[in-house]
A = this chain, B = another copy of it.
Amino acid sequence: MLMSKLIGERTREAPADATIVSHALLVRAGYIKQLAGGIWSLTAPAHRIVKNIERIIREEMNAIDGQEVSLPVVQPRELWEQSGRYNSIGEEMVRFKDRQQRDLCLAMTHEEAAVHLVRDGVKSYTQLPFMIYQFQTKFRDEPRSRGGLIRVREFIMKDAYSFHATQQDLEQYYAKAFTAYENIFRRIGMKNFIAVQSDSGMMGGAIAHEFMLLTEIGEDTIAICEKCGYKANVEVADSVLPLPNAEAEQALQEVYTADAAEIAQVAELLGVSADKTIKAVVFLDKVSSQYIVAFIRGDLEVNEAKLKKVVKMDLVPCSLEDSNELVAGNIGVLGIEASGAKAVFDKSLQNTFNMVTGANKAQYHITGVCAARDFPNVEFADIKKAREGDACPKCSCALILKNGIEVGNIFQLGNKYTGAMGMSVLGADGRNFFPIMGCYGIGLGRSLASVAEEYADEKGLIWPIGIAPFKVYLCPLRYDTPEVKECADSIYASLQEQGIDTIFDDRNASPGFKFADCDLMGIPIRVVVSPRSLEAGNIEIATRYGGIKEDIKIEKLFDRLSSALAILSVL
């Protein structure tokens, strides 16, 4: 491709709202252009990277027997009602009416459509397992799109759906998919990625993993044990607290605490540490409008994702302005039943002694609360957020927390969708059953941006050779001199003949200007043809990473290119 005709303006200035490197550089290098919030156009170089990522994913999906299919973007309400998600998914799903006033939506995931496609044709367990996948445009009305391609509303996703006769078969396949995902991220050049246990969210199902690129700018937090390798999104991460020390049980006592409402205020007023108090955090169930009170040790935080799983409700945090039963700032474990709210107790309260809790009465707290004595019949659940330094649930070493960007996810779905949608298959035992599903997603644009984030330097982008839009930046200097033109044109023709993707900078511009563009665009190999080096029969070859920079004889160029391509592909 000719640089003089390449669409995509390169600029010095980053967009005013660009706070992360990949956003700034992808815009500055002319790779992407914003059409609306979270909606981007890609120019040819960015599209080429997406296609390279797509090719790698396709190869890995085919290697685990995937069948590439195509499922629609626009889907009817009735389909989503079969799974119950038409109502359970919120505003992130776009809904509209067609000209005949029928309800349609933009599918943000394709479990329903996948089951619809295979439901009739798959009649027997002998047709299992199988996996179908697609690359498809999806739109999710994200409330906070940001960061260029990191968090968008419209994106291309590879989504895959596997169907199995048994949980064991799913687990075997899930392990294969896990390995395929590791291959994919490794092959697209990502270095610092890990797989972590995750929350299955709106997908349902029990076991799920996210593939995370570890990076400061990640919005997810991951708890990691560097000793045993335990890794989990804090949304699901377990961690172990030391058992409370046994103490002599004090008597319950109601104490006046005036307007002290926050844990810090109450603890200070009563002269105890925060871990001797019981925090109450209130949520509202959007469906029933019931209040849910989560009790947890005062120094800990409630993990909303864990709580949702425990209560199986669609909760939102809430303030208490309009509650007659719950006294904001003074909610306590004793007598909470009277309020009508549902109480959930974190495991951190188990076996505690002499704690402070609200008195369920304005301006009063109760001291001396002992779990075994004062609330003996409650069930404790894990609803706390893991903290840096908490003990690993597997080996008890201290956990560390890191930020990450989710670049892919895999879920074990169970038979939620096949059951709800009536996909019944004849088993080996002559009885019908609902197949067990797995699903597997990767966002292509976010993968691109994540790689950009991981590699970029002060000069611009750096693309690993496996996904680079062009492998070679062919850069004649003084292209208007006949010798340079003849040599550069001939190299360009040979590169094209050999199928090496090349961008040919045919512009009349200074070396510095051209080199800066090449660096900003992140093309792995730069080949420079200049009058001076030609005099010595030389060509310059330099790489954007890997440290190659040398003059070589013209006749050696293609040998050196081959070896450079090989070297870069294993760096």
Contacts and interface: CB of A to CB of B under 8 A. Distances in A.
A68 interface: yes
A41 B70 contact: yes
A126 interface: yes
Contacts of A202: none
A47 interface: yes
B116 A33 contact: yes
Given A96-B96, A116-B33, A8 B121 contact: yes
Interface string A31-47: 00101100111111011
Nearest to A118: B7
Nearest to A43: B69
Contacts of A7: 67, 69, 117-118, 121-122, 130, 132
A180 B1 CA distance: 19
B41 A73 contact: no
Interface stretch (A136-144, A342-350, A415-423): A136-144
Nearest to A123: B9
B72 A35 contact: yes
Interface in A81-133: 91-92, 94-96, 98-99, 102, 104, 106, 113, 116-118, 120-122, 126-127, 130, 132
Nearest to A50: B70
B68 A9 contact: no
Given A67-B6, A72-B154, A30 B121 contact: yes
Question: Chain A at the B interface: mostly helix, strand, loop or mixed?
Answer: mixed
A490 to B, nearest CB: 20
A153 interface: yes
A42 B69 CA distance: 6
A65 interface: yes
A165 B35 CA distance: 25
Contacts of A92: 99
B72 A40 contact: yes
Interface residues of A, number: 64
Nearest to A117: B41
A74 interface: yes
Contacts of A30: 121
Given A8-B121, A67-B1, A39 B72 contact: yes
A533 interface: no
Contact of A96 (B65, B94, B134, B156): B94
B74 A154 contact: yes
Contacts of A179: none
A96 B99 contact: no
A481 interface: no
A79 interface: yes
Contact of A44 (B9, B69, B76, B102): B69
A280 to B, nearest CB: 31
A4 interface: yes
A431 interface: no
A369 B1 CA distance: 66
Contacts of A132: 7, 44
Please give me the 3 A-B residue pairs with the lowest Cβ-Cβ distance, nearest first.
A9-B121, A96-B96, A44-B67
Interface of A: 1, 4-9, 30, 33, 35-36, 39-44, 46-48, 50-51, 65, 67-76, 79, 91-92, 94-96, 98-99, 102, 104, 106, 113, 116-118, 120-122, 126-127, 130, 132, 134, 136-137, 139, 141, 143, 153-154, 156
Given A5-B130, A35-B75, 10 more contacts: A7-B67, A7-B132, A9-B120, A35-B79, A36-B75, A41-B69, A41-B71, A43-B117, A73-B139, A94-B104
24 contacts: A5-B65, A5-B127, A7-B117, A9-B120, A30-B121, A35-B75, A36-B72, A36-B75, A36-B102, A39-B75, A41-B69, A41-B70, A41-B71, A42-B70, A43-B117, A46-B70, A47-B134, A50-B70, A72-B154, A91-B99, A94-B96, A98-B153, A99-B141, A136-B137
